[in-house]
């Protein structure tokens, strides 16, 4: 039993990170209808910037959250205002927009990753921060992983409050449900979509900061986190933000259990769940 608890807590710690990564992507798809394949690259940007801030300027990763978040937000916002907005206006229907925007984001993925290669080179970057050990009921865990979990939860809750209480949040929800009506009711739909895309990018950037605290990072890391994000987003239900949040934790726990039994099958399990879920319940756990 103690062992079981141990495994589940390890899964939760990993799941927090997954949840954060996936929420951003889910927001981008759920509202802005862009299945953003460059999502992993924003994580990479956050991670490598944190490394530079920490090793060169001696800025703590926890402060880096406040730097990388806004920067990636602006980046995402601008990309939507230019590229995706043009695509949106030239697409005749939503289906076409979804597929062309996905392909455009594939191109974006290449551009960002190549630029990062030029800036940081391909080396693996790592630093030690918060290497303390925490004991929970006799089981040992890394303090930095608990910080990661704390951040994921805090951002999840803050975002929930933002969506339900603020004016922009309400506009976003209206835009997600029915863009046409929202537009008629005076919501500046393009602005809302760009903000959502920016927020998604910011979440990726912050996730990147947290990733860099726990794992080595490099310019080629984006694709790995992209696949995780896609799995979680589908698991929780495409476009459902609470779904991704729960899906992240679920995938973390499943991964932890499988890697306890047979580590070689961890990644296989991720994809197996993904494929089977699409066959049995394509809408995901919380999909509408």
Partner 1 sequence: MSDLMVIINMLALVYLGWFVERSLQKNKSKMWLFSGLVVVMLVILFTLPNYGPTYSYIMVTTILMYLVLTVSWALFSGPTGYISLAPAAFFGVGIYTSAVLGKDIPLLAVVLLGGILSFVLAMIVGALTLRLKGTYFIMFTFGLVLLITNLLLWYEIKFTGTRGRFVVAAGNDTIYYVMLGIFILLLITAFIIKRSKFGLALQSIGQNEEAAAHMGINVTGVKVIVFAITAFFMGMAGAIMTMKWTYIDPYSAFDLFRSFLPVLMAIFGGMRYFYGPVLGSVIFAYLEEKLLTEFPYVYKLAFGIVLIAVILYLPDGLAGLVDKIRARIARKKNALT
Partner 2 sequence: MWKKILAFTIPLTICLILILTSVFAGCGGKADKDKIVVGMSRSLSGPIAIIDDSAFRPVYETWVAEVNAEGGIYVEEYGKKLPIELKIYDDKSDPATMAQLTEKLILEDKVDFIWGGGGTSFIYAQAPIANRYNYVLITMEGGASSLKELLPGMPYVFVTLSFSDWYEMPVLADMLASKGCKSAYIMYIADLHGVEYNGVAGVELGKKGIQILGAKAVPPDIKDLSPVIKEAKASGADAFLCFAYPDQVFPAVGTSIELDYNPKVWLGGPGINFGFFHTAFGPMVEGVMGWASWNRKSSPALNELADKLYTGKPEDSNDWWGHAFYWAGLDMWRAAIETAGSLDNTKIRDILATQHLQTVLGETWFENGLMNRETHPGEVGQWINGIYEVVGPFDKATAEWVYPKPPWPK
Task: List residues near partner 2 by CB under 8 A.
Answer: 6-7, 10-11, 13-14, 55, 114, 117, 121-128, 131-133, 140-145, 214-216, 218-220, 224, 227-228, 252, 255-256, 259-260, 263-264, 266-268
Minimum CB distance to partner 2, residue 186 (Å) = 45
C-beta closer to partner 2: residue 105 or 256: 256
C-beta closer to partner 2: residue 192 or 217: 217
Find tokens 């459902």 and name the residue: 240
Task: Give dist(CA 46, CA 48) in Å, integer.
Answer: 6
285 SS3 class? coil
- 145-151 contacts: CB < 8 A, separation 24 or more? 145/13, 145/14, 145/214, 146/13, 147/62, 147/210, 147/213, 148/13, 148/16, 148/17, 148/210, 148/213, 148/214, 149/12, 149/13, 149/16, 149/17, 150/16, 151/16, 151/20, 151/65, 151/206, 151/210
CA distances from 233 to 67, 158, 248, 283 (A): 26, 20, 8, 10
Q: Do the beta carbons of residue 251 and residue 15 sit within 8 Å?
A: yes
Minimum CB distance to partner 1, residue 30 (Å) = 12
Options 59, 62, 71, 100; binder of partner 1; rule CB under 8 A: 100
Q: Provide the token pair at 208.
A: 């990147």
51 SS3 class? helix
C-beta closer to partner 1: residue 127 or 271: 271
Task: Give dist(CA 49, CA 149) in Å, integer.
Answer: 21
Options 71, 78, 83, 189; binder of partner 1; rule CB under 8 A: 83
User: What residue 238 binds from partner 2, partner 1, none (CB within 5 to 8 A, per partner kind)?
Assistant: partner 1
Options 55, 60, 99, 181; binder of partner 1; rule CB under 8 A: 99
User: What residue 80 binds from partner 2, partner 1, none (CB within 5 to 8 A, per partner kind)?
Assistant: none
C-beta closer to partner 1: residue 150 or 282: 282
Task: Give dist(CA 143, CA 148) in Å, integer.
Answer: 9
By CB under 8 A, residue 286 contacts partner 1: no
Minimum CB distance to partner 1, residue 233 (Å) = 9
Can you point out the beta strands (E) in 42-169? 133-136, 139-142
C-beta closer to partner 2: residue 193 or 253: 253
Which of the ranges 47-55, 87-95, 162-170, 248-256 carries the binding residues for partner 1, by CB under 8 A?
87-95
By CB under 8 A, residue 230 contacts partner 1: yes
C-beta closer to partner 1: residue 53 or 193: 193
By CB under 8 A, residue 261 contacts partner 1: no
């Amino acid at each position: 039993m103690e062992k079981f608890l141990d495994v589940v807590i390890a899964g939760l710690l990993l799941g927090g990170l997954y949840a954060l990564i996936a929420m951003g992507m889910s927001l981008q798809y759920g509202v802005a209808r862009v299945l953003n394949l460059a999502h992993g690259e924003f994580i990479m940007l956050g991670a490598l910037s944190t490394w530079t801030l920490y090793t060169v300027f001696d800025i703590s990763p926890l402060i880096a959250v406040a730097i990388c978040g806004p920067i990636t937000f602006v980046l995402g916002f601008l990309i939507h205002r230019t590229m995706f907005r043009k695509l949106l206006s030239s697409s005749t229907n939503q289906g076409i927009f979804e597929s062309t925007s996905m392909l455009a984001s594939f191109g974006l993925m290449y551009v960002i990753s190549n630029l990062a290669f030029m800036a940081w080179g391909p080396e693996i970057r790592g630093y030690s921060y918060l290497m303390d050990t925490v004991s929970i009921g006799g089981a040992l865990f890394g303090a930095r992983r608990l910080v990661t979990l704390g951040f994921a939860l805090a951002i999840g809750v803050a975002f929930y409050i933002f969506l339900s209480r603020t004016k922009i949040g309400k506009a976003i929800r209206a835009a997600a449900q029915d863009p046409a009506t929202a537009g008629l009711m005076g919501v500046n739909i393009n602005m809302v979509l760009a903000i959502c895309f920016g927020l998604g990018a910011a979440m990726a950037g912050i996730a990147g900061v947290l990733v860099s605290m726990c794992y080595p990072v490099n310019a080629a890391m984006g694709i790995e986190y992209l696949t995780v994000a896609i799995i979680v987003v589908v698991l929780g239900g495409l476009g459902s933000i609470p779904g991704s949040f729960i899906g992240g934790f679920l995938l973390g726990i499943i991964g932890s259990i499988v890697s306890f039994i047979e580590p070689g099958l961890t990644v296989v399990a991720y994809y197996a769940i993904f494929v089977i879920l699409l066959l049995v319940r394509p809408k995901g756990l919380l999909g509408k």
